[in-house]
Copies of this chain bind each other. A is one copy, B any other.
C-alpha cells in the first residue's frame, strides 16, 4: 500500500510528524519513504510493507497529510500500474521529458572506437536536430578474448564532443558499479557538458547486486534492458530492484529474445510487448531494433528490416529508440554488420516520424470511439 502525501509536505511539519507517529503503530508493518524532488514540487510517498490487506483504504486516506492511497498488487510495487493508480508515468532529465507519452531517438555507436568516429556521429546528430545518442564504452562480450570496450579512457573525449555538439543525454551501458564513479568523475572533469542514462544490458538484467547499487543513486536515470532468455515478468521484477532501492527513473528496453524462432534475424523481436509493458508498469518503453534484427537485410521495397522493426515499435507507442549507426561499419569493432550509415540517418528519422504520426492518429481514433461510446451510454 502506498500513501501519496500532499505535495511539498515537509518532514519537519506537524502534519508529517503526526502521520508518521500514527503509522509507526500499525502492527507488523514496516515503512519506507520515497522522496522525489522535482523542479516544481517535491513528492513524498510512504510504502507500507507487510500484510496490509486488513488495513482499510479509507482509514489511510483520512489521515493528515495523505493526498491519496494506492493499493499495490504483489508485483512491481513501485514501478507497477496498479488499480486506480494515477501516479505519473514520466520523469525529466537534462530538460527532456521521458514518459509514456514522448518519443526520443538515441542513435549512436554501439562501441566507441575512435574520437574521430564519435565526432562524425555527433556532428551528424546535431545536423539533424538530435540531442540524444548512445555510446558504448564498457562492452560485455561473450568471449573473454574479444574487444571489451575502451572503458573510462574514452569518456573524456566522448563527453567533450557531446558538449560541443549539443548532445544532452548519452545512453551508456555499465557492467560494474565502479563504472558509475568513473562516469561521474569524467563528467566532473569535463565540466558536465552532457548527461548520461545508465544502461543495464541484457546479460545483467538479473545481476541484482548491480541493480541495487544503481538503484541507490539518483543522479542518473536508467535504461534497463530486458533479459534475452527470461520472461517479461522476470525482467520487470528485475527493474523493480532499481526502484525498490530508490531510483524509479527507469526506461524499460525491449531488444529481442533468444529463441530458435527468430531466424534469419539475430533474435525474436518482442516489440508486441510495447503496450504490455506500458499497461503493467509506468515505465516509458524503449525498443532496440539493431540488436533485435542484427543485420542489414531489407525487404523488396528496399526498406531495411531494422527500419521496419523500428516502425513496428513506434506505431505501438514506443517512447525511445536505441539504434546503432557507424561512419564506417566495416571498421566497427563491435556489431558492425548491423550498423546504419550516417547517410541513412535522415531517412531513418523521417521514417520514425511517419510511424509516430500514425501512432498519434491511432490514439486520437481510439479516444474518439471511446467518446462516442460514452455519449451513446449517456
A257 cross-chain contacts in B, Cβ below 8 A: 259, 261, 268
Contact of A293 (CB < 8 Å), options: B232, B265, B272, B298 = B272
Assembly CA distance A209 to B347 (angstroms): 38
User: Given A261-B268, A272-B312, A362-B311 in contact, is the A229-B229 Cβ separation under 8 Å?
Assistant: yes
A265 cross-chain contacts in B, Cβ below 8 A: 272-273, 276
Confirm or deny: A263 has a beta carbon within 8 angstroms of a beta carbon on chain B.
yes
**B208–A300 CB distance below 8 A:** no
Q: A246-270 toward B: CB 8 Å interface, digit per residue (1/0)?
A: 0000000000011111111100111
How many A residues face the partner with a CB closer than 8 A? 93
Restricting to A331-365, which residues have a CB under 8 Å from any CB of B?
A: 343, 346-347, 350-351, 354-355, 357-358, 361-363, 365
Contact of A268 (CB < 8 Å), options: B143, B259, B362 = B259
**B278–A299 CB distance below 8 A:** yes
Contact of A143 (CB < 8 Å), options: B230, B240, B274, B308 = B240
Q: A117-152 toward B: CB 8 Å interface, digit per residue (1/0)?
A: 000000000000000000000001111110000000
CB distance from A18 to the nearest CB of B (A): 28
CB distance from A133 to the nearest CB of B (A): 22
Confirm or deny: A98 has a beta carbon within 8 angstroms of a beta carbon on chain B.
no
Assembly CA distance A55 to B236 (angstroms): 47
CB distance from A154 to the nearest CB of B (A): 18
**A142–B237 CB distance below 8 A:** yes
Q: Which of A34-42, A104-112, A199-207 contacts B (4 or more CB under 8 A)?
A: A199-207
Assembly CA distance A312 to B145 (angstroms): 34
Assembly CA distance A8 to B267 (angstroms): 46
Contact of A354 (CB < 8 Å), options: B212, B259, B303, B362 = B362
Confirm or deny: A366 has a beta carbon within 8 angstroms of a beta carbon on chain B.
yes
Confirm or deny: A326 has a beta carbon within 8 angstroms of a beta carbon on chain B.
no
Copies of the polypeptide in the assembly: 4
**B315–A311 CB distance below 8 A:** yes
A309 cross-chain contacts in B, Cβ below 8 A: 272, 316
**A100–B278 CB distance below 8 A:** no
Confirm or deny: A234 has a beta carbon within 8 angstroms of a beta carbon on chain B.
yes
CB distance from A101 to the nearest CB of B (A): 9
CB distance from A212 to the nearest CB of B (A): 8
Confirm or deny: A233 has a beta carbon within 8 angstroms of a beta carbon on chain B.
yes
Assembly CA distance A203 to B204 (angstroms): 8
Assembly CA distance A231 to B268 (angstroms): 11
Given A232-B261, A264-B276, A276-B305, 16 other A-B residues pairs in contact with their CB atoms under 8 A: A142-B206, A143-B237, A176-B209, A207-B207, A257-B268, A258-B260, A259-B260, A265-B273, A265-B276, A272-B305, A272-B309, A301-B363, A302-B366, A307-B362, A351-B362, A351-B366
6 contacts across the A-B interface (CB closer than 8 A): A144-B208, A144-B241, A175-B209, A229-B229, A301-B366, A347-B369
Q: Which residues of A contact B (CB under 8 A)?
A: 49, 74-75, 77, 81, 89, 100, 140-145, 175-176, 203-204, 206-210, 212, 227-234, 237-238, 240-241, 244-245, 257-265, 268-276, 278-279, 292-293, 297-303, 305, 307-309, 311-312, 315-317, 343, 346-347, 350-351, 354-355, 357-358, 361-363, 365-367, 369-370, 373
